[in-house]
Amino acid sequence: MQQTKGLALEVRLSAYIDGELGEAERSELDALLARDDDARRLLDKLRAGSAFGNRAFEDFLHDPVPLALVRQIKQGPGINPKLERVTTSNLPKRSVRILPRLVAASVGLVLAGGIAGFILGSTTNFVDPVIETAASPWINEIADYHRIYSRQKAHLVEVPAAQAGEIERWLTSSVGVPFKVPDLARKGLAFVGARLLVANGKPVAQLVYRDQEGEIFAICFLRGGDGAGTAELSETIRGDLGFVSWQKEGASFVFVGPSSAAELQDLAQTVAAVI
């Protein structure tokens, strides 16, 4: 606890707001606030400033960070984030901001020959990963589901992998998207089972996989989607999770895993090809 006696009243009231005062000082200020209109007005002003600042600082989190820096952290050194730097923090909307960044990042990829290997051999055009906090609503819901379900030890799935045939019949009829459970064993992922989720008010199939280190990955898909996606695979990162999404034959797909998984796009490409 802090001692603020003798300090300016705004400093004392500021510490009062933060709960940094001892009981005696707190009681003293409570009494002052009960009898002094000016003190109350000052407290209201400090609180208003706090609330205003909180809102303004929240907006900073919507600025994408340099794309290649994420890769450098995930995969180790060898690429120069400055080649892919895109600073568009002044642009107002995510939809406006992302596009020029992606274009610039693509140019950076071409320039940085060393990075080309990352996408060479791919038959699908990837869009570079973007850190963001808001995008397709159904993917936002998937993110919430994944964060909760991936921590479940005993009840990770509704229907276990041993009933793969049943999973295919059940989820195809429930979701309306015909599919085969992709075998990703050669990619180091073991199929654990499936769940039926709900997003955008629609049923969503979730196929759950686990890697050798216990990390959980999932393929999620629904009929239609929010219409925001394309056949092109695009990667986004939201905090600890990475998402590669695409659309195919009237269905929307997303492959979810830890954002630190460098192989996320490669895995998603495999899934997109076989599911």
**Which listed range, 67-75, 159-167, 181-189, 200-208, lies at the site for another protein (CB under 8 A)?**
67-75
Is the separation of the CB atoms in 15 and 1 below 8 Å? no
Nearer to another protein, 42 or 196 (CB): 42
State how far the Cα of 48 lies from the Cα of 160, in Å rounded to an integer: 53
Asked if 131 is part of the footprint of another protein (rule: CB under 8 A), the reply reads: yes
Q: Which residues are bridge partners to 203 per DSSP?
A: 198
State how far the Cα of 218 lies from the Cα of 84, in Å rounded to an integer: 29
Binding to another protein in span 246-265, by CB under 8 A: 258-260
The count of other CB atoms within 10 Å of the CB of residue 81 is 17
Stretch 91-130: interaction string toward another protein, x if CB under 8 A: xx---x----------------------------------
Asked if 30 is part of the footprint of another protein (rule: CB under 8 A), the reply reads: no
Asked if 69 is part of the footprint of another protein (rule: CB under 8 A), the reply reads: yes
Q: Out of 139, 237, 264, 272, which residue is the one contacting another protein (CB under 8 A)?
A: 237
The count of other CB atoms within 10 Å of the CB of residue 75 is 14
SS percent in the chain: helix, strand, coil, step 5:
45, 20, 30
Asked if 81 is part of the footprint of another protein (rule: CB under 8 A), the reply reads: yes
Q: Which residues are bridge partners to 127 per DSSP?
A: 234
Is the separation of the CB atoms in 222 and 205 below 8 Å? yes
Asked if 236 is part of the footprint of another protein (rule: CB under 8 A), the reply reads: no
Residue of 48, 16, 51, 50 lying closest to 32 (CA atoms): 16
Q: Out of 7, 99, 231, 274, which residue is the one contacting another protein (CB under 8 A)?
A: 7
Nearer to another protein, 150 or 252 (CB): 150
Binding residues for another protein, rule: CB under 8 A, are 2, 4, 7-8, 10-11, 13-15, 18, 20, 45-46, 48-50, 52-63, 65-66, 69-70, 72-74, 77, 81-82, 85, 87, 89-92, 96, 131, 133, 213, 237, 239-240, 258-260
